[in-house]
Structure 1
Amino acid sequence: MSIATIAERALILLAIGMLALTGANADADNCQSGPMHHAVPVSGEVSGARQFASDLGFGWTFQLAPAPHGWDINVLDESGYNLALATLPVHGDTNPRFLYGWHFRNSANTGPNEGDVNAPQRERRFTLNDPRGGAFRENGLGWLDIVDFGLADLQPGERARMVYLRFNACVVVPKTDEERARELDALSPVYIDDELELIRTCGLDLAYRPEAWVMPRLLNGDFDADGAHDFAVPIVREADGQHGIAICRAGTWTSIHGIDDAPPGSDLVPGYFNQVEAWSLGPRDALPAYVGDPGLPAGAGDALTIERIEKSAYSLYWDGTAFRSHHHYTLVEP
């Protein structure tokens, strides 16, 4: 890797670090993922003696488990270990993980808790950790806000039970070093040697050079649904700087788009590629539903969408014999 490449990626890493320091707490409170963490929202309701469970990804499960006076918040890993056991205090029954009815009643159980019962109220925060060691995303955390609840056993001298709960929750999971490195790499406009070799091996002529005039610098997919790896890369014609896109199918077939005249029946002219602000690649049936747009013809395979954000959009797709373009919309003329 060149010194320039190392310097560019170091600057990107510094920028991510600054974002993490200034925005991590706000992102977590809003349940938004950030450069250093995943944030997974969970909402729902539960009643009676029922259990609530939701898949968080990572092999983890968010769970509300029935307890004598309500529910316990658990976050179970793939082995069933409860990572939320790290939440303090360990002893007693006023842990924030415990959603118990009597937390919201006074000590005589004759009315609302006005402070005489020292117990957490509607906002609950819990921590995640694994004392067993091994590979783990350290210092996870979560919060649960009680939106509404119902109580039973309200007779004086009893301990009230929570019998209904509606909630919003969030589990914040630190990203692994591997995830952060992968995302850092995706932010770089610099092609690594393996990528350049792959692009040239597929047949990109030396009249063009890969250049990340739109990010990310390379998109992977399967245009013809044959199970082989395809990819798209932004390019520039050396002679005049004209923007284009090279699509490589199965590491063998390269087609160039945006350099010369528009194909027959298409209004996707080369000049449009010099104005593209964003691009994406994915299944045809996952494309946004644009107003007044009939959409792409039915068929398997991914589509490459290029757009001037909130102005116009086109997609390139494989029709079984060649690439075609589809005009989704235009709100502002070039």
Structure 2
Amino acid sequence: MLRRLIGLFIWSLAAALPGTAHADACTPTATHYAATVSGEVAGQHQYSADLGHDWTLHLAPAPHGWDIQVLDATGYNLALATLPVHGGTNPRMLYGWHFRNAANTGPNQGDVNAPQTMRRFMLNDPRGAFRGIGLGWLNMRDYGLAGLEPGERARMVYLNFNACVMIPKTEEERIRDENLISPVYLDEELELIRTCGLDLAWRPEAWVMPRLLGGDFDADDAHDYAVPVIREADGQHGIAVCRAGTWTSVFGADAIPPGSDLAPGYFNQVEAWSVGSRADLPQYFGDTGLPAGPGDVITIERIEKSAYSLYWDGAGFRSHHHYTMVEP
């Protein structure tokens, strides 16, 4: 077990070393979430930040500075897996004397074998209740020391930092995420689409991703969803909107919501789409914005060229032209 942990720790350090593909980039991956944190702490105060997924980054006061802790929902410190286990030079220990020479008469020139401003740590749970192997780093942007008299051990009394924690996804979360980026409709999704009333003249096909988006378009507290579809007869692209599992509208053929110059041909050029609240829509230059009202909005877009939104006005769907940078 110890040999396995050492191997994993060496791998985690190598994966994060500058100059590699993972050079301190705090970005999510197929297997890990990425949580970024920045802050400062001083004196005998502690620091805590919610990382999501029931994890907390905690800086706990210690005699010579602070200890990095990553706590799970039970309060267990997952960072205890960071090696070396013994001694006072573990990367998760943010101690002032790490930055001073052995005599405490000046800066550490290498005679004290201790980590410096970049600290990398590994996360694991020997109890067997863990999501997987996690990684993290903390970069000291600024710090202050006290206890600088020769022969003493310096204390860190101020720290300004930024940090990253890579939180493993559970197997269920990985499967869910892989499913979301697949263009293939699940059998239950096809059944829902047809049950809602999609005519056989149209077939669900993910000509734009993701293959399905959900929301509450008419603000009735019932779940709605939208699906890219193609007309069997001529390949015309459209978007089928199912409201509350009962009413289906297909846009992209003859049924174009009124309110702007949106035309059926535009659906054959769409490169991206999204669903969100009106308040979260980007503010396009020169755009007067959608009329006020409840309900989520479907936005279709030719990336950096033009964008329209489909929205519910209380009686039916309408369209809004946000911008056009080139001729459609």
State TM-score, norm by structure 1: 0.90
1:43 maps to 2:33: no
Q: Give the aligned CA root-mean-square deviation in angstroms.
A: 1.5
In structure 2, give the amino acid aligned to 1:117.
V
Shift of residue 29 of structure 1? 2.5
Shift of residue 264 of structure 1? 3.8
- Deviation larger for 28-37 or 87-96: 28-37
Question: Which deviations, in whole Å up to 9, do the C-alpha atoms of 1:140-159 show, x marking residues without a partner?
Answer: 11111111111111111111
1:55 maps to 2:59: no
Asked if 1 retains the 8 angstrom alpha-carbon contact of 2:258 and 2:318, the reply is: no
Question: Which deviations, in whole Å up to 9, do the C-alpha atoms of 1:44-74 show, x marking residues without a partner?
Answer: 1111111111111110000111111111100
- Deviation larger for 278-287 or 27-36: 27-36
Matches within 5 A, 1:263-278: 263-278=257-272
Shift of residue 96 of structure 1? 0.6
In structure 2, give the amino acid aligned to 1:281.
V
**CA distance in structure 2 between the partners assigned to 1:255 and 1:237 by the alignment:** 14
Match of 2:78 in 1: 83
1:70 maps to 2:70: no
Question: Which deviations, in whole Å up to 9, do the C-alpha atoms of 1:125-174 show, x marking residues without a partner?
Answer: 1111111113x211111111111111111111111111111111111122
In structure 1, give the amino acid aligned to 2:57.
F
In structure 2, give the amino acid aligned to 1:105.
R
**CA distance in structure 1 between the partners assigned to 2:257 and 2:223 by the alignment:** 25
Match of 2:197 in 1: 203
1:286 maps to 2:280: yes
In structure 1, give the amino acid aligned to 2:147.
D
Asked if 1 retains the 8 angstrom alpha-carbon contact of 2:224 and 2:243, the reply is: yes
Matches within 5 A, 1:190-269: 190-260=184-254, 262-269=256-263
Shift of the 261–321 alpha-carbon distance from structure 1 to 2, 3 Å rule, reads closer
**CA distance in structure 2 between the partners assigned to 1:34 and 1:104 by the alignment:** 34
Shift of residue 267 of structure 1? 0.5
1:149 maps to 2:147: no
**CA distance in structure 2 between the partners assigned to 1:249 and 1:273 by the alignment:** 20
Match of 2:113 in 1: 118
Shift of the 156–137 alpha-carbon distance from structure 1 to 2, 3 Å rule, reads same
SS in structure 1 opposite 2:180?
A: helix
Shift of residue 28 of structure 1? 7.0
Shift of residue 261 of structure 1? 6.0
Structure 2 residues without counterparts, runs of 5 or longer:
1-14
Matches within 5 A, 1:83-102: 83-102=78-97
SS in structure 2 opposite 1:217?
A: coil
Shift of the 321–28 alpha-carbon distance from structure 1 to 2, 3 Å rule, reads farther
**CA distance in structure 2 between the partners assigned to 1:289 and 1:28 by the alignment:** 34
**CA distance in structure 2 between the partners assigned to 1:268 and 1:28 by the alignment:** 45
Shift of residue 122 of structure 1? 0.8
Shift of residue 280 of structure 1? 0.5
Asked if 2 retains the 8 angstrom alpha-carbon contact of 1:150 and 1:165, the reply is: yes
Of 99, 106, 110, 1:104 maps to: 99
SS in structure 1 opposite 2:161?
A: strand
Asked if 1 retains the 8 angstrom alpha-carbon contact of 2:259 and 2:320, the reply is: no
Aligned length: 311
Asked if 2 retains the 8 angstrom alpha-carbon contact of 1:261 and 1:269, the reply is: no
Shift of the 33–304 alpha-carbon distance from structure 1 to 2, 3 Å rule, reads same
In structure 2, give the amino acid aligned to 1:278.
A
**CA distance in structure 1 between the partners assigned to 2:199 and 2:247 by the alignment:** 12
Question: Which deviations, in whole Å up to 9, do the C-alpha atoms of 1:238-265 show, x marking residues without a partner?
Answer: 1111111110000001111111164444
Shift of residue 27 of structure 1? 4.3
Asked if 1 retains the 8 angstrom alpha-carbon contact of 2:300 and 2:309, the reply is: yes
**CA distance in structure 2 between the partners assigned to 1:249 and 1:62 by the alignment:** 42
**CA distance in structure 2 between the partners assigned to 1:97 and 1:122 by the alignment:** 11
Structure 1 residues without counterparts, runs of 5 or longer:
1-22
Shift of the 139–263 alpha-carbon distance from structure 1 to 2, 3 Å rule, reads closer
In structure 1, give the amino acid aligned to 2:68.
I
Asked if 1 retains the 8 angstrom alpha-carbon contact of 2:259 and 2:318, the reply is: no
